[in-house]
Structure 1
Amino acid sequence: MKPLWRKLKNLFGAAESPAPADDAAMIEALFASDIAGIAQSDFRTGKFTRVNSRMCEMLGRGEQELMTLGPPDVQHPDDGARLMPVFLKAMSSKGKWEGDMRHLLPDGEVVWARISAMVTARDETGAPLRGVAILLDMTDARRADEQARENTEILRLGQVVGRIGTVRRDIVNGVILAEPAIRDIMALPEGAGPIPTAQWLERIVPEDRNRVAAEMRRAEEGGAEDISLDYRTTCPRTGRLRYIELRARYIFGPNGKATSSIGVAIDVTERREAEIRLAHAANHDSLTGLPNRGLFRVRLEEALALARRGVNFALLCLDLDRFKEVNDTLGHPVGDRLLDAAAKRLRKELRDTDTLARLGGDEFAVIQSCLLEPREASALALRLVQTLSAPFVIDGQQIVVGVSIGIALAPQDGGETESLLSAADMALYHAKSDGRGVWRYFKPEMNQRMQMRRELELDLRRAMTDGQFEVFYQPIMDVESRRVKTFEALLRWRHPERGLLAPDLFIPLCEEVGLIVPLGDWVLRRACADAARWPEDIGLAVNFSPVQIQSRHLVGQIASTLRDTGLNPRRLEVEITENVLIKDKETALATLYAIKALGARIAMDDFGTGYSSLSYLQIFPFDKVKIDRSFTCELGQSRKSNAIIRAVAGLCDGLDMAVVAEGVETEGQFEALRREGCNQAQGYLFSCAVAADALPALLDALNGAEWAQAAE
């Protein structure tokens, strides 16, 4: 086909002389057609002199607007700058130019046009004067080409990234024809020639090879059109195991026998490795790599199935001793490394047939398989206790923990997963109760004790709703005046069957089952309401557990209670133990400062029994320190006890803190406290804890009748 410029030359001629009438008619017909955009332009002005309607349509402009513009005004600036010098040179020397160029519509859209242009008139020097151009809209074709190239590139990238390739197998000649990309994917020899099928099979790992060959034979002999093969091969360069998925379609000859196949091979190594990692992560502990609770239950069910056929085993539940102290004092990263080190020690004491799992936190479990007699479990428990009792060195620090172990034997202690786990847990509970660092076998009576504990829990919940709790008060005396300074609120449970119970019999259980916060709120409100009726110079001390201090509602609860009862905040003392600060020091300190901001006073109870009491006196301005009764009982009899009391009193005096000695039972102890500078005292020498309605009589006995009258 002749180029468009030749057609233009035939129509417009190369001279300025008028065209014949039939050519003029053809030119008019061409301008009137909608096949292509046609434009005449003046080289001297650089403007269009005539355009047809198709040209206006292509460029999105009206005829009058285009008459004020020239080719550079509608061209894409990048293409104009690049192609205009070439265009002008060609028009001057050859009188014609043909090429593709982008044009910009008023709305910013781009139109691709194939342009055929020629000079229709020159001046006396031969320079172009006028020209005409035909523009064919190539936008759709261009976009189709770009889409095709993009699809091709996507397919190529998909094959490279996805490691996909095609392979053809000549079954008659027993060879495989594969492109270079697929050779790498399938770990086949490099080159372009055919590869014997037997050589390809040799590259498949032995565990998969026979299965793949058998599946291929069944497909060929059974006339199956499609086949899917999954197998592993080894890369000859790296030695790395690869996972391949091969999907092929067979072609059969007239005799019904397979002649060839064509298929797609996909390297799914990364996907399979990710699946393996995910499966491992789903069934194993991320810290120690041990089986987690889910996988352990599967292994336990498998062991129970064997136990029903006579293969006995032991279940050992382990709990590290003092691990919480490590976490609280040295931090969770050290605690994590300690758990990992403990897991490694435990593994060394077990056989390959045993199962070790981490159930969560510092809890581990062991399935000791093929148990011949119960004492084998004791022997293992002894080794585990010994190995975990030896010091650990973590980040240069020597750490000593221990382990308590509960043992249940299968099938005699339980034939199902839940019953056996429950038996081992009960045995572990008793091991920890018996001093830790020991192991205990499950006994049926343990179940009875656990049932009693559950009944006690139910009783506790009923006690909350039935109003069985009471607040008793024990006086704290001013040593100098021997008058009541404060009453400490002490909780009692009037059990309908067991009588009046002290808090140490039920408070730990309240903390375990989540009752301590509502019960503590009740005690605070009851005690503040009682104290509001006392003389103004007698304070109220209320104990708060670590769980209460961690509650974000505590400060608001105290503020609302003081407001509702009308108790002056300065009369309230909040007593805490060191454990409050050990659990979460930052949160606890923030809460204590907020309570102090209300006007209440803060006291540290059981001072001297923990690990960091002195350091806590530095980080928080306590108003009062209560010395534990263990230091008071030998006052006047032991130089050490006297020295400790004297030192604490002197220290607190320098820090503007009051000192209270607990457990004062004799006049000798009281006199010793006076000599050593102790401010306040509490104990049976003055009074035990009494009910609220007994306080007027107690005040009368301790402070005189005027106090009782004021209280009334």
Structure 2
Amino acid sequence: MPEPGDAPGLVEVVQRWTARWADTDGVSLSPAQLEELVAGVARDAAARAEAARDAALRRFSALYSASPIGIALADPNGEIVEANAALGAFLGCKTDDLRGRDLADLGYGPKDRHALLDGLDEVDEAGSEPYRQRVQLAHADDVGTWADITLAVLPGDRPGAAYPVLMVLDANEVHQLQETLRHQSIHDPLTGLSNASRFNTLLEGALGPSARDQIALVYLDIDGFKVINDGLGAGVGDKVLRRIARRLREVFTSHDPLIARLSGDGFAVLLRGRLTAQEVITQVQRALDELREPMYVDDHGIGVSASAGIVVRDVADGGPEDLLRAAELALHRAKAAGKAQWMLFDPDLDVRDRARYRLGAEIGGALENGHFELVYQPMVKLGPSGGLAAVNAGLRWNHPEFGELGSEEFYPLADTTGMTVQLGNWLLTESLAAAARWRERHGEAAPDICIRLPGRLAVDPELVGAVKELLDRYRLPAGALRLCTDSPSLHDPRGEVLESLSVLTDLGAKMVLAVTGSADLELIPRQGLKVRQIILTGPVVDALGDNPDAAAVRHLDQLVARARELGLRVGADGVRTTAQAELLRGHGVIAARGPFVTDSATGDEVDDLIERYTG
């Protein structure tokens, strides 16, 4: 018979199995005895199951209470029925305060509450995948605290019943670290401004299909910043850059500004909205004025200047590449115009600049394809003996589209593209080869070859070795090579040009100095230059035209007299007429070049001149 306290339904189970076994052949027990036996077995099995369930509940309760992860158990409607101590500590409240609250109400803001509601909807049915998300939960101090949450469901005691459970892991440190890394990835670590990557991304967005109104891009470059770094140290330079960034933030405050550091001393400002060129120019001028004010860093009063290129246009007038290129061209023009000023992009000038930069890009191919040739300026001796004293060698570019281009049209571009050394080496090689041919044909009547080395070639560490190798190759004495320079070239702050020329003169080459006045001439004794000959040029010669005044002639006599004191030979450049040449000869000038002979000559024409002046 069933005992009081038996589990509901156990009596029916015992009676059903007793009836089945009693109907089995070979059973010698009475139905009552069999029922008692089966009931005992069933009670023992039920007791064991109850003990196992109680042990599992105790283990779960211990784990639930001791877990460092915050846990909240809810009823099927999402109302919290139990929360552990870890969740209360994380949210800064007692666990009793959490009971009765909706799980979704734990979110700090609307976005966080929506995330919790979405999670509850996703895990509504038992067996679904857990929902994981990073959200901010509401702390008792009325602040948000970052958490990695997991929403899942536990099966209920009835078929189909599901109970939501929320598990919370502290994500504040991880989130802060990730935010720090994200900030570092899009900001310049020195100034805190946006970096180039973020700038380019936001620029593309500012020119997207939905963009309206105008956009302005300003490129700013600090003039001569290397002087600060080299003179005061990189540490002071970094402090100056931070001050510059601060001043830019103070100036550019309207039109949704984006300020970025793009390179070492290069900055960019992006402005958006309804604006005009004059509004942008006003802000840029103010920025340049602010930067000129001295910055006191480590007891140094440091003033800087900046050049700026400005582009203002409608957002629909082109893509990011066009805008960036236009701002860069405007900046180049500002620097070329003397620095410390701004320049507004001009579409008409852009057409010309495109052609110029195209030339710069084509120099390498033109050199390889033989589009360059040598041109010469003969210098004749002013005296009864006549003859060619020297031939100045230069480069001319026979461009298939633009015709003949002089060196002044492509050497600055070669400096920009890094082709100066290649052009200079080609000039040096071909010039010495030509000098060797003239010596072979004309013997002692052959002129020296005079070359003005491009600045970058003059400081090239391979120059001296290259010159010596070429002189040996063509079996030329070093004295057949003249190296022409001027005072601006010798004012190289590192002295590399003078050092290279001095080594070459030690090999036997002759240094020639172009002189425009007494100051240039006095460089020779002051710096101990190994100069053998000077060439008067510029206003000194121009003043001796058709009717020279007494002051011009007196100036000439003073220069010639001082040159003789220094043991120098005197030549002249830019001589236009035979009468001018005779005047110069009468006052001590021994050689001259210019239109009175010819503006330029080819190699074959030099051969003819050698024969003519020798005869």
Shift in Å at residue 697 of structure 1? 7.0
Change (3 A) 1:313 1:458: closer
- Tell me the amino acid that sits aligned with residue 573 of structure 2: G
- In structure 2, distance between residues paired with 1:286 and 1:491: 47
TM-score by length of 2: 0.65
Change (3 A) 1:433 1:651: closer
Residue 283 of structure 2 corresponds to residue 380 of structure 1: yes
- Tell me the amino acid that sits aligned with residue 513 of structure 1: T
Q: Deviations over 1:2-52 (max 9, x none)?
A: xxxxxxxxxxxxxxxxxxxxxxxxxxxxxxxxxxxxxxxxxxxxxxxxxxx
Shift in Å at residue 410 of structure 1? 1.6
CA contact (8 A) 2:108 2:138 kept: yes
- Tell me the amino acid that sits aligned with residue 324 of structure 2: L
Indicate which of 476, 482, 485 corresponds to 1:567.
Answer: 476
Partner residue in 2 for 1:359: 262
Partner residue in 2 for 1:228: 132
Shift in Å at residue 371 of structure 1? 2.0
Shift in Å at residue 548 of structure 1? 3.5
Determine helix, strand or coil for the equivalent of 1:381.
Answer: helix
Indicate which of 683, 687, 691 corresponds to 2:593.
Answer: 687
Shift in Å at residue 672 of structure 1? 1.9
TM-score by length of 1: 0.57
Change (3 A) 1:309 1:226: closer
CA contact (8 A) 2:119 2:151 kept: no
Residue 244 of structure 2 corresponds to residue 342 of structure 1: yes
Shift in Å at residue 245 of structure 1? 1.7
CA contact (8 A) 2:74 2:165 kept: yes
- In structure 2, distance between residues paired with 1:183 and 1:482: 108
CA contact (8 A) 1:175 1:195 kept: no
Change (3 A) 1:309 1:690: closer
Partner residue in 1 for 2:81: 174
- Tell me the amino acid that sits aligned with residue 342 of structure 1: I
Determine helix, strand or coil for the equivalent of 2:273.
Answer: coil
- Tell me the amino acid that sits aligned with residue 651 of structure 1: R
Partner residue in 2 for 1:671: 557
CA contact (8 A) 2:112 2:137 kept: no
- Tell me the amino acid that sits aligned with residue 468 of structure 1: F
CA contact (8 A) 1:471 1:523 kept: no
CA contact (8 A) 2:397 2:404 kept: yes
Shift in Å at residue 387 of structure 1? 2.4
Change (3 A) 1:472 1:203: farther
CA contact (8 A) 2:72 2:83 kept: yes
- In structure 2, distance between residues paired with 1:549 and 1:204: 71
Shift in Å at residue 230 of structure 1? 1.3
What does 1:695-706 correspond to in 2, within 5 Å? 695=606
What does 1:297-696 correspond to in 2, within 5 Å? 297-305=200-208, 310-323=212-225, 335-351=237-253, 353-395=256-298, 396-411=300-315, 414-457=317-360, 460=363, 463-464=366-367, 465-473=369-377, 475=379, 488-495=392-399, 500-532=404-436, 533-534=438-439, 535=444, 540-548=449-457, 554=463, 557-569=466-478, 571-572=480-481, 585=494, 596=503, 600=507, 626=513, 629=516, 632=517, 642=518, 644=519, 647-653=522-528, 660=534, 662-663=536-537, 665=541, 666=544, 668-677=554-563, 678=566, 679-681=568-570, 682-685=572-575, 686-688=592-594, 690-691=600-601, 692-695=603-606
- In structure 1, distance between residues paired with 2:105 and 2:502: 77
Shift in Å at residue 176 of structure 1? 2.0
CA contact (8 A) 1:540 1:573 kept: yes
- In structure 2, distance between residues paired with 1:232 and 1:321: 48
- Tell me the amino acid that sits aligned with residue 375 of structure 1: Q
- Tell me the amino acid that sits aligned with residue 393 of structure 2: A
CA contact (8 A) 1:221 1:257 kept: no
Shift in Å at residue 253 of structure 1? 0.8
Change (3 A) 1:222 1:326: same
Using the TM superposition, name which of 518-527 and 466-475 deviates more. Answer: 466-475
Residue 186 of structure 2 corresponds to residue 279 of structure 1: no
Shift in Å at residue 508 of structure 1? 0.6
- In structure 2, distance between residues paired with 1:187 and 1:548: 71
- Tell me the amino acid that sits aligned with residue 318 of structure 1: L
- In structure 2, distance between residues paired with 1:543 and 1:274: 60
- Tell me the amino acid that sits aligned with residue 175 of structure 1: E
Change (3 A) 1:339 1:375: same
Residue segments in structure 2 that go unaligned for 5+ positions in a row: 1-66, 545-552, 576-591
Q: Deviations over 1:622-679 (max 9, x none)?
A: x9583653xx2xxxxxxxxx4x3564343245x7665735515256554322322452
Change (3 A) 1:650 1:415: closer
- In structure 2, distance between residues paired with 1:203 and 1:581: 76
- In structure 2, distance between residues paired with 1:476 and 1:195: 107
Q: Deviations over 1:116-135 (max 9, x none)?
A: xxxxxxxxxxxxxxxxxxxx
CA contact (8 A) 1:316 1:406 kept: yes
Partner residue in 1 for 2:155: 252
Change (3 A) 1:499 1:675: farther
- In structure 2, distance between residues paired with 1:568 and 1:274: 71
CA contact (8 A) 2:377 2:593 kept: no
Change (3 A) 1:232 1:562: farther
- In structure 2, distance between residues paired with 1:598 and 1:242: 77
Shift in Å at residue 322 of structure 1? 4.1
CA contact (8 A) 1:314 1:377 kept: yes
Aligned CA RMSD, in angstroms, stands at: 4.7
Shift in Å at residue 503 of structure 1? 1.7
CA contact (8 A) 2:429 2:470 kept: yes
Determine helix, strand or coil for the equivalent of 1:291.
Answer: coil
Shift in Å at residue 506 of structure 1? 1.2
CA contact (8 A) 2:513 2:535 kept: yes
- In structure 1, distance between residues paired with 2:296 and 2:512: 35
Change (3 A) 1:422 1:169: same
CA contact (8 A) 2:123 2:151 kept: no
- In structure 2, distance between residues paired with 1:375 and 1:660: 52
CA contact (8 A) 2:277 2:312 kept: no
CA contact (8 A) 1:649 1:676 kept: no
Bigger relative contact order, structure 1 or 2 (CA pairs below 8 A, ≥6 apart): 2
- In structure 1, distance between residues paired with 2:485 and 2:110: 66
Using the TM superposition, name which of 284-293 and 555-564 deviates more. Answer: 555-564
Shift in Å at residue 174 of structure 1? 2.8
Q: Deviations over 1:288-324 (max 9, x none)?
A: 3222333223322332237x66432323333344446
